[in-house]
Homo-oligomer: A and B are copies of this chain.
């Protein structure tokens, strides 16, 4: 242990309990150092990287009810250190084997009054960032308690550029990210909050393992200090809890280029391992659904002549899914409750009562017979009391019909969540406070009991709980494709090259890509999906989700079979992920290796600027020729004027190839790489860009 101490920790502690000297813990590579200090009884930490300030002295601690402070006049009663280097396997994911490599410092602190209370602060320092959390152990003088304030700060030494959305807005996380100086951002910000320093260092602040606690937003203080701002209960209390308690981890991911944020697994590493004994029923996959047509105004959720969820239409969707190998068919609006002002009257959803025109028993069996499944839908309109009363039955109902995945929804248009308090009175809670954090977990737990995967819309943000509860597959918690519908207001081309560096650092997103009808309607020239056709395909790789929708209508896929093939081929479960190009808000190229084969897939996307990007294929296996099936923009493609300027080209490549990706304004590129067959290797008609070749965007060798 002395050797470990010498290697990983620098402990200047000289005497207990005076604690006048700092405690330090370093990252495994020695470059990141967290120092805890006690400044006149205040508990502070600061962080350096390469010996330079990354965070200035930042407060730690909790303030409880009854004037109890776990923040001031604390004395140290002990500390522990340990070092972990392990590699664990995901049940599913964007990377199969994840290395968890950190040094930990655990400091036990006691108040100095007559009824001493104890707080433990734990720091884990990784090469790619750090996390800390509070633990309140079981103790004599602290049983049940309320947290009135968490003091955690992140004191940035300068004013960085931030990509941010403001917290406490009526539409939760569903806003476009703004890019500005942090000092010009809203007063309170959602996490993940991603920032770039003036010297080009990237930071992202978030939290891991948010459970039984309020979610954290960040309040801007003076001098670039961000302070934890916990979303309160309706009475102002932040957290209702009791010892023993652990808080979520407060996380700071750090990277020299933005792409390294995407391949940081720090948040997953700070979650607990899988708790589900049987995961055989959890399967990533792709689905279609009766959904986009409602956004197009071609059908309604509610009953009547335009009702989308009819038996006949669902049967056609099942046929289409079965013909093309989709894993499921989502049907929204099949259960009673959608008529009238369903958002206002949201209490009325009946989760096990189909509309008369929807023969769920026949359809679920039809789907199973054809080798696919229905995907369930639980719209709650934010009426959690109504939902929780039916939830167990609702999941059992689906399970009995072979349903394996359920999309949940909490559309509330700003209305808060009603709950009954202990006195039977109705209290109105926010969507992001402790009450809803716990509700969302109850849903995941109930779903697991019925072998059902959750795809949560209008949910709490992800914090890596998918590791612990791997039926928590994917979610919304951001502005998805639906905003690109004719009345949606639009996301613009840059949004999908901001999301991977912000919201998606927290976890997968059900963005619902794959819209092929891209040309603007005559009466809505400003409202259309802001990418080219190849750009839609790229999203299946750039935006990670274990469940991905092919969101457009089957007839639109029938019209573009060449492009559709990529959606059919692309997996949603990956052995490995690597980022080739990354500029936040500008462009992104990601490559991922299929979990189940030797195929690699590339997705590259840009904002409204066209790009030529060189992509060396160093990730491929050496010595092996691959066929690259390239789905790409033409030279005159443009999301506004020519979104269908699309071509598909096959070319023989290998690990020594450098391809040139031509991304049109609002465009993209999608590539499947698969080992070439013997016939393909000797097929002289197949264009070649192998053997150290660099090729231009039209796959012609670049001479010298």
Contacts and interface: CB of A to CB of B under 8 A. Distances in A.
Interface of A: 29-31, 49-52, 87, 95, 97-99, 127, 197, 199-201, 256-257, 260, 581, 583, 585-587, 607-614, 616-618, 621-623, 635-636, 638, 641, 655-656, 658, 662, 664-665, 692, 696-698, 702-704
Given A29-B662, A621-B692, A623-B623, 10 more contacts: A29-B696, A29-B697, A50-B638, A51-B638, A127-B612, A199-B586, A199-B608, A199-B609, A622-B622, A622-B692
Contacts of A665: 50-52
Contacts of A656: 618, 622, 655
A569 to B, nearest CB: 25
A609 B50 CA distance: 8
Contacts of A98: 704
16 contacts: A30-B636, A50-B665, A51-B665, A52-B609, A52-B610, A87-B703, A97-B704, A199-B586, A199-B608, A200-B587, A256-B612, A617-B618, A618-B658, A621-B692, A622-B656, A655-B656
Nearest to A101: B703
| Copies of this chain assembled into the complex | 2
A656 B665 CA distance: 33
Q: Which label, helix, strand, loop or mixed, suits the secondary structure of the A interface?
A: loop
Contacts of A256: 587, 611-613
A4 to B, nearest CB: 17
Nearest to A641: B51
A480 B461 CA distance: 51
B622 A655 contact: yes
A201 B51 contact: no
Given A662-B31, A696-B29, A704-B97, A51 B636 contact: yes
Nearest to A660: B29
Interface centre among A614, A617, A658, A696 (most CB of B within 10 A): A614
A99 B664 contact: no
Nearest to A28: B696
A31 B661 CA distance: 13
B200 A609 contact: yes
Nearest to A694: B578
A702 B99 contact: yes
A99 to B, nearest CB: 5
A702 B99 CA distance: 9
Contacts of A199: 586, 607-609
Nearest to A691: B622
Contacts of A662: 29, 31
A587 B95 CA distance: 29
B610 A50 contact: yes
A658 B619 CA distance: 10
Contacts of A29: 612, 635, 662, 696-698
Contacts of A587: 200, 256
